[in-house]
């Protein structure tokens, strides 16, 4: 493969497309689902209703927030200047 073709392919692959955005969103949502599932399993195993479920929900929500922040940072790094308060649209 020539250098020009390889460089072009690397540039194309460096941008995140809609597929990876959906992947990030699913990871964020499923972190809550997994947290609740683990909490429910803990409650079922040890009879600690509802504390395991609530703890799992809190941990899952925390993981959700972290994932959304990471997605936002990646987007911001790839699209600098695209956001609220951008001065391009002001007159």
**pLDDT tens-place values along the chain, 91 residues long:** 555 555 444 444 455 577 777 888 899 889 999 999 999 999 999 999 999 999 999 999 999 999 989 988 988 888 887 766 665 555 4
Neighbours of 37 (CB within 10 A): 14
Distance CA 31, CA 60 (A): 5
Distance CA 4, CA 13 (A): 14
């Amino acid at each position: 493969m020539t250098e020009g073709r390889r460089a072009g392919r690397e540039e194309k692959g460096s941008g995140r497309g809609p597929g990876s955005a959906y992947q990030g969103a699913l990871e964020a949502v499923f972190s809550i689902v997994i947290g609740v599932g683990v909490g429910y399993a803990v409650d079922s195993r040890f009879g600690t209703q509802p504390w395991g479920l609530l703890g799992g929900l809190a941990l899952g929500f925390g993981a959700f927030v972290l994932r959304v922040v990471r997605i936002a940072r990646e987007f911001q790094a790839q699209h600098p200047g695209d956001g609220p308060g951008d001065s391009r649209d002001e007159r």
